[in-house]
Structure 1
Amino acid sequence: MAAFRASLAVLDVDAASDHERVALVAELERLKAAAAACQARATDALRRSREVAAPQDVGRSVGSEVALARRESPSSGDRHVGLARALVHEMPCLMAALTDGVTSEWAAVEVVRETATLTREDRAEVDRRIADALPRLGARAAGRAAARVAAELDAASVVRRMEAAVRSRRVSVRPAPDGMAYLTVLGPLREVVGAHAALLRRARSVVGGQCEDEAPGGRGVGAVSADTALSLLSGRTHGQVQPVEVQLVMTDRALLGTGDADRGVDEPARVPGHGSVPAPVARAWVRDAGPASVWLRRLYTAPDGRDLVAMDSRRRTFLGGLRRMLVLRDDVCTTPYCDAPIVHADHAHADHAHAGQDGGPTSASNGNGKCLRCNLVKEAPGWSVAVTRGSPHEILTRTPAGHSHRSLAPPLLGWGSETHPPPDADPSPEPVLPPGSVLERQVDWFFTSAA
Structure 2
Amino acid sequence: MEGIRSAGLDRGTVEGSTCVAVGQVARFRESLADIDIRTMSDHDRLALVAELERLKGSASACQMRATDAVRVSREESSPQDAGRSVGSEVALARRESPSLGDRFVGVSRALVEEMPETLGALGRGEIVERHAVELVRETATLSREDRVEVDRRLAGVLPRLGWRAAGRAARRVAAELDAASVVRRMETAARSRRVSVRPAPDGMAYLTVLGPLREVVGAYAAVQARARAVVGGQCEDEGADGRGVGAVAADTALRLMAGLAPGQVQPVEVQLVMTDRALLGTGDGARSVFEPARVPGQGSVPAPVARSWVRDAGPASVWVRRLYTSPGGRDLVAMDSRRRLFGGLLRRMLVLRDDVCSTPWCDAPIVHADHTHPVRAGGVTSFGNGGGRCARCNGVKEADGWRVRVVKSPVRGSPLVLETVTPSCHRYRSTSPPLLGWGSDSPKLATNAPPPPTRRGADPPTPSPLERHLEALLGA
Change (3 A) 1:445 1:141: closer
**For residue 170 of structure 2, what is the aligned residue in structure 1?**
146
Counterpart-to-counterpart distance in 2, 1:254 and 1:373: 36
Counterpart-to-counterpart distance in 2, 1:378 and 1:355: 11
| 2:133 counterpart of 1:114 | no
Counterpart-to-counterpart distance in 2, 1:110 and 1:75: 16
1:56 aligned counterpart, secondary structure: coil
Could you tell me which of 221, 225, 228 is aligned with 2:252? 228
Taking structure 1 as the reference length, the TM-score comes to 0.91
Q: Compute the displacement of 1:163 (Å).
A: 0.6
1:9 aligned counterpart, secondary structure: helix
Q: Compute the displacement of 1:356 (Å).
A: 1.6
Output one character per residue of 1:162-215: Cα deviation in whole Å (capped at 9) or x when no partner: 111111111110000000000001110101110000000000000000000000
> Matches of residues 23-38 of structure 1 in structure 2 within 5 Å?
23-38=47-62
Change (3 A) 1:262 1:97: same
> Matches of residues 173-322 of structure 1 in structure 2 within 5 Å?
173-309=197-333, 320-322=344-346
The 8 Å contact of residues 359 and 393 in structure 2, kept in 1 or not, is answered as: yes
**For residue 469 of structure 2, what is the aligned residue in structure 1?**
444
**For residue 432 of structure 1, what is the aligned residue in structure 2?**
none
**For residue 403 of structure 1, what is the aligned residue in structure 2?**
426
2:112 aligned counterpart, secondary structure: helix
Change (3 A) 1:365 1:152: same
Could you tell me which of 356, 380, 392 is aligned with 1:361? 380
Q: Compute the displacement of 1:242 (Å).
A: 1.1
| 2:194 counterpart of 1:170 | yes
Q: Compute the displacement of 1:410 (Å).
A: 0.5
> Matches of residues 7-156 of structure 1 in structure 2 within 5 Å?
7-156=31-180
Q: Which amino acid aligns with 1:99?
A: G
Q: Compute the displacement of 1:444 (Å).
A: 2.2
2:80 aligned counterpart, secondary structure: helix
Taking structure 2 as the reference length, the TM-score comes to 0.86
Counterpart-to-counterpart distance in 2, 1:155 and 1:371: 37
Q: Which amino acid aligns with 2:433?
A: P
The 8 Å contact of residues 269 and 276 in structure 1, kept in 2 or not, is answered as: yes
| 2:421 counterpart of 1:389 | no
Counterpart-to-counterpart distance in 1, 2:373 and 2:343: 18
**For residue 371 of structure 2, what is the aligned residue in structure 1?**
352
1:66 aligned counterpart, secondary structure: helix
**For residue 447 of structure 2, what is the aligned residue in structure 1?**
none
Counterpart-to-counterpart distance in 1, 2:276 and 2:391: 34
| 2:181 counterpart of 1:157 | yes
Q: Which runs of 4+ in 1 moved over 4 A?
A: none
Counterpart-to-counterpart distance in 1, 2:95 and 2:469: 47
Q: Which amino acid aligns with 1:217?
A: D
Q: Compute the displacement of 1:34 (Å).
A: 0.3
**For residue 394 of structure 2, what is the aligned residue in structure 1?**
375
**Count of residue correspondences:** 420
Q: Which amino acid aligns with 1:238?
A: P
Change (3 A) 1:445 1:352: closer
Could you tell me which of 403, 416, 420 is aligned with 2:439? 416
Q: Which amino acid aligns with 1:418?
A: D
The 8 Å contact of residues 86 and 112 in structure 1, kept in 2 or not, is answered as: yes
Q: Compute the displacement of 1:442 (Å).
A: 5.8
1:309 aligned counterpart, secondary structure: strand
Q: Sequence identity of aligned pairs in percent?
A: 72
2:368 aligned counterpart, secondary structure: strand
Q: Which amino acid aligns with 1:180?
A: M
Q: Compute the displacement of 1:443 (Å).
A: 3.5
Q: Which amino acid aligns with 2:143?
A: T
Counterpart-to-counterpart distance in 2, 1:361 and 1:233: 41
5+ residue gaps in structure 2? 1-24, 336-341, 445-464
Q: Which amino acid aligns with 2:382?
A: S
Counterpart-to-counterpart distance in 2, 1:4 and 1:355: 42
Q: Compute the displacement of 1:10 (Å).
A: 1.2
Counterpart-to-counterpart distance in 1, 2:348 and 2:130: 39
Q: Compute the displacement of 1:303 (Å).
A: 1.2
2:332 aligned counterpart, secondary structure: coil
Q: Which amino acid aligns with 2:400?
A: P
The 8 Å contact of residues 226 and 249 in structure 2, kept in 1 or not, is answered as: yes
Q: Compute the displacement of 1:445 (Å).
A: 7.4
**For residue 456 of structure 2, what is the aligned residue in structure 1?**
none
The 8 Å contact of residues 310 and 365 in structure 1, kept in 2 or not, is answered as: no
Q: Compute the displacement of 1:100 (Å).
A: 0.6
Counterpart-to-counterpart distance in 2, 1:443 and 1:352: 41
Q: Compute the displacement of 1:144 (Å).
A: 0.4
Counterpart-to-counterpart distance in 2, 1:8 and 1:419: 31
Counterpart-to-counterpart distance in 1, 2:61 and 2:202: 37
Counterpart-to-counterpart distance in 2, 1:446 and 1:52: 64
Query: Whose RCO is larger (CA < 8 A, sep 6+)?
Result: 2
Q: Which amino acid aligns with 1:58?
A: A
5+ residue gaps in structure 1? 312-317, 343-347, 422-439
Change (3 A) 1:371 1:419: same
